[in-house]
Amino acid sequence: MGYCKLECPDGETQCCICCEKQDGCDNRCDMMDSYEYAEDCEDYVEEDEP
């Protein structure tokens, strides 16, 4: 599992799609509706990248 480069107010590092708190979150990703998988998001970094 990789992580999101965007700053999360709750300190979460996972993609908003995977986040359990997204329903009540005002800071969730605006891009979320434009991709189906976390890996497709440009703000998402795979674990094996430096």
Q: Against a cut of 0.85, is the pTM above it?
A: no
Torsion of CA 29, 16, 12, 42, to 10 degrees: -60
Residue with tokens 């800071």: 27
Q: How confident is the model at residue 45 (pLDDT cuts 50, 70, 90)?
A: very high
CA atoms within 13 A on the CB side of 17: 17
Query: In this predicted structure, what is the pLDDT of residue 50?
Result: 55
pLDDT tens per residue across span 5-41: 999 988 999 999 899 888 888 888 888 889 999 999 9
